[in-house]
A = this chain, B = another copy of it.
């Protein structure tokens, strides 16, 4: 293994949320593809609540009639089975739409702290990524330790954090083009904090970006397919939640470890 590509990036454990974005000045034209990608993202995000609303109406119609028809006395057992298949598909669509809806409303500026079940949020993010994992021949391995504490945190921020990290992991494996494995683990450290790690066996981070991973618009996807705001968002949100992000990366993969404070650490 070429050790020169291996680099460990550590951020000090921060208990407040100062100006984490890097104050580097850049000419917009240097980040034009990323800005345009971000603009497309904004347009979709603005649109999504109403599109989801419309889709939900359609699904509710499907489910309503499927339910009605099943209660018809004249329906045979075979036909009932088919109606049940319609109902299952409708319920799956509704579940997916529900997960999308909680993202589409966006993250409120103010922290909204409440007890958070990390396993639940991880699983929801993984299920949203399921098709992307399949398409890229990615095996997902999860290990949610029973020791994982319930923490007081902001679910809407954490949803974006996990999704952004799973997308990076998926991208890294997709770029290699040979399929791969993503491991998601949750647990507890010796201080009672929650620890979440997301590890991929992709080709690792481009060494050029090591020193500026948490800056906006940093991406090694040069085709304009990424805005490079993922790790910027992750670092910012985790810092707001008084947590810590650590990244280790080598040619054999990347591991991102989040530490999020337990209730005791917060107060």
Contact = CB atoms under 8 A, between A and B. Distances in A.
Contact of A41 (B24, B44, B49, B129): B44
A83 interface: yes
Contact of A42 (B24, B47, B230): B230
**7 tightest CB-CB pairs across the interface, nearest first?**
A41-B41, A39-B233, A50-B131, A21-B28, A25-B25, A39-B229, A61-B89
A178 interface: no
A267 interface: no
A216 to B, nearest CB: 5
A58 B93 contact: yes
Given A25-B26, A29-B19, A54-B96, A62 B86 contact: yes
Number of this chain's copies in the assembly equals 2
Interface in A115-169: 128-132, 135, 160, 163-164, 167
A45 B35 contact: no
B47 A40 contact: no
Given A36-B233, A47-B167, A225 B130 contact: no
A227 B42 contact: yes
Interface residues of A, number: 86
Contacts of A89: 58-59, 61-62, 65
A192 interface: no
A59 B226 contact: no
A256 interface: no
A16 interface: no
A177 interface: no
A264 interface: no
A74 interface: yes
A83 B55 CA distance: 18
Given A59-B93, A62-B90, A96-B58, A236 B160 contact: no
Interface in A1-50: 19, 21-29, 32-33, 35-50
